Structure 1
C-alpha cells in the first residue's frame, strides 16, 4: 500500500528486481516489471482530451482575429476576451477538485465538455464584446470541470512509478489540439467564415463528451471523505506558484501569436501555433520517460529558463525565421514544464486528495492564462507585441528562480517497497 508522509506521497508497490539508493537517498528498483500504462481507459481519456483541446486550439486562433476583425476592437480587448475565462475557472477549479474527490471524475468530465460545446456554438451568433466575455466566463466553468477531473482521473489510472510518463503521453492531446486546432480553425475561417469555425469547435467538444463517457468512473472506491471540507491543497501551493509563471508567459504568447505572425510576415499565420504544438508533441513522445528519471523541481526550473530564452528570441528577432526559432526553443521548455510540475504536485497528495491537488495546481493555469494575456495586452497596445514577449520572458525567468529555491529546500524521503 502507499505510505504517506507530511511531505508527500511515497509510492510502495510489489516489485521484482534489485534495489539501489541514489545520492539523494531515494530507493530505485532495477529490473522491475513495468505496470501497464496503455489501457483502454487511458487511451479513451487521452483521445477525449485531444478532441476537447482541438476545439480549444480553434478558439485560440480564431478569437483574437474575431475580436480585432469583425468586432473592431484593439489588442487590449483581444487580451481581455482571451483571458477572462480565467476569472470563473479560477474560482471554480478548487471546488471542482473537491467535487471530483467526493462525487467522481466522470460527471465533471462529461458536464465540462458539454458546457464547452454550448459556449462555442453560442459564440457563432455573438455580435458584441460583452456577449463574447460572458461566453468566455461560462467556458471557464467548463474548463475547470473538465481539466481538473481529467488530471485526477489520469492520476487514478496511471501506475505510480510511471506518472511522469503518463502525463507526457496524455498531454499530447492538449498539444496536438493546440497544433491542429489553429489549422482547422484557419481552414474553416478561410472557406466558410467565423460561424463555421465556432460550430466546428463545438462539434469537437461534443465528441470529447462522448469519449470521456466511455472512460467510466476512476475514483478509488476506498477513498474517504470524513475530513473537513477544503478547496485548497496547501502542500502543492508553492509548486503551483512556479507553474503559474510558466502559464502566464506561455498564455501571453498564445494570445498574440497569430497577430504577431502576420505582422512579421509569416505567410501562413496558423503555422506559428502548429509549430509550437507540433514540437511539444514530438518532444513529449521522444522524452516521455525523462520526467520519471530526473528530480521534478530542477527539471521544472530548467524548463522555465528555456521558455524565457525562446521568448527573448521571439521578441528581439522580428522576422519569420526569428519568430519560428523562438517558438521552437519555447516549445522545448514547455515539453517538460507540465509533467515536471504535476509530478511534483501529485507527490504531495494521497489518493483521496488527487482531485483537490489537481484543482489547486490547475488554478495556476487559470491565473497564468488569465493574467498573462491581459497583462501583455496592456503592454502590446502602446509599445508593441515584441515588448509584451519580453515581459513574458521576464515572468518565466522569475519563475525559474523561485522553482530553483524550492528545489534547494526540498528534503526527499526514501521510498520503500512493501507487500500489498
Structure 2
C-alpha cells in the first residue's frame, strides 16, 4: 500500500485543477438515482404486497421485507473484493440487471415463500451495486475532493429513498401491483444501461493471484466511528413518528422528518467542499458530537420544540459525518484496495441501519422513548471522543 496522505490536512494541492462534474461522475450519479428510486419504491410496495395479496401476518411481512439484508450483508465483503479483481463497472451492471429481473419476477408471485426467496436474491443485487458504486465514486473523485464527491453523489440515494415511495404509491393507484413492479424494474434496467456508459475502473490485472481479502482491517476503526453516528440516526428515525404521535400528541410528524431531510440535503449542497477543506477526522468528530447533542436534546426536552430542535441539530451532524469519514478513508487507499475497503465500510453501515432500531427498541421496552434517545446519545458521543483522540494521535505522529 502506498503511504497514505495525512488525513488531518486538506492536502497540499490545488483541488480546483481537477474537475469533479465529469461525464462519468454524472452518469454514476444518475445510475444511482435510478437504482435507489427503484429500491425506494420497494420500501412502500413490498410490505403492502405481502400484507394484502399474499395475506401475510406482521411477522411474515417483517421477514419478507428484511430478507434481502441477510444476503446483502453476507456478500458485501466478497462484492468489494470482486470489484477490485474485475473492476467496478461489471458489478454495477450485473447488480442492476439482476435487480431488474428479480423485481419483474414479482409480477408472478402468489406465495409468501417465493417473495422471501426473491428478496434474498435482491440482496445479492444490492451487495453488488452498492459496494461497486461506492468504490467507483472513490475512483472518479479528484484527489482532495473525495468528501465533496460523496456529498453530491449521496443526494441520489436520499432523493431516491424520498421520492421512490411516492412514485410507488402513484403507480399502485394507476394500475395496482403489476404496474408498480414493472415501474421499479424499469428504473433498475435504466441503472444497468447507464452503468455500461461508465469507464472501467478498479481492475487490477494481477489481483486474481493475490490473497482474498474480505475484511480490510485498515478501515475497521473508521468504519466503527461511522457506525456510532449512523446507528443513532437509524434508531431516532425508527421511533420519531411513534414518539411524536403517542407521547407528544402531534397530529403528524412529517414536518419533523421533512426538516431533517432538508437540512441534510441543504448542508451537503451548500457545504459540499467542507470535508476537503478541513481535517476530515476533526470534522467527523464534530459531526458525531452534533448527532449526540441532537439526540440528547430530544431526550432532555420532551416536547414538540425540543423534538424539532434535536432533529435539526442531529441533521447537521448527519450531513457531514459520512462525507468526512469517506474523505479520510479514500485518501489512504490504493485503487486496488477500494472495493475491499468500502465493502468493509458497508458492513458497518448495514449493521447500523439494522441495529439502531433494535437497540432503541430494547431501551424503550425497559424505559421510555425520551430516555432511550438520551441513553443512545452516548454512542455517538463515545465515537466523537475516540475519533478526536485518534486524530490527535495521528497528528502527533505526522
Report the TM-score range of the alignment, normalised by the length of the smaller protein: 0.7 to 0.9
Relative to structure 1, is the Cα distance of residues 168 and 350 closer, same or farther in structure 2, using a 3 angstrom cutoff? same
Relative to structure 1, is the Cα distance of residues 219 and 118 closer, same or farther in structure 2, using a 3 angstrom cutoff? same
Counterpart of 1:58 in structure 2 is: 41
For the Cα contact (< 8 Å) 1:120–1:198, is it kept in 2?
A: yes
For the Cα contact (< 8 Å) 2:92–2:128, is it kept in 1?
A: yes
Please, what is the CA RMSD of the aligned residues? Answer: 3.7
Counterpart of 1:376 in structure 2 is: 360
Counterpart of 2:344 in structure 1 is: 360
Deviation string for 1:117-137 (max 9, x for gaps)? Answer: 345455677678766654443
Indicate which of 2, 5, 13 corresponds to 1:4: 2
Distance 2:63 2:153 in 1: 29
The Cα of 1:279 is off from its aligned counterpart by 2.3
1:169 matched to 2:152? The reply is: yes
Matching of residues 7-406 of structure 1 within 5 Å: 8-9=4-5, 28-29=12-13, 33-60=16-43, 71-73=56-58, 85-121=68-104, 134-188=117-171, 200-219=183-202, 226-256=209-239, 263=246, 273-315=257-299, 322-379=306-363, 389-390=373-374, 392-406=376-390
Distance 2:274 2:116 in 1: 40
| Structure 1: gaps of 5 or more residues | 12-23, 415-420
Distance 1:190 1:256 in 2: 28
Please say which of residues 93-102 and 383-392 is displaced more in the overlay.
383-392
Q: TM-score, normalised by structure 2?
A: 0.82
Deviation string for 1:340-363 (max 9, x for gaps)? Answer: 111122223112111111111111
Deviation string for 1:102-123 (max 9, x for gaps)? Answer: 1111121122223333454556
Relative to structure 1, is the Cα distance of residues 301 and 27 closer, same or farther in structure 2, using a 3 angstrom cutoff? closer
Distance 2:164 2:373 in 1: 23
Please say which of residues 333-342 and 61-70 is displaced more in the overlay.
61-70
For the Cα contact (< 8 Å) 1:304–1:399, is it kept in 2?
A: yes
Relative to structure 1, is the Cα distance of residues 284 and 267 closer, same or farther in structure 2, using a 3 angstrom cutoff? same
Distance 2:153 2:141 in 1: 10
Distance 2:375 2:102 in 1: 31
Distance 1:193 1:388 in 2: 39
Paired residues, number = 395
Distance 1:269 1:124 in 2: 34
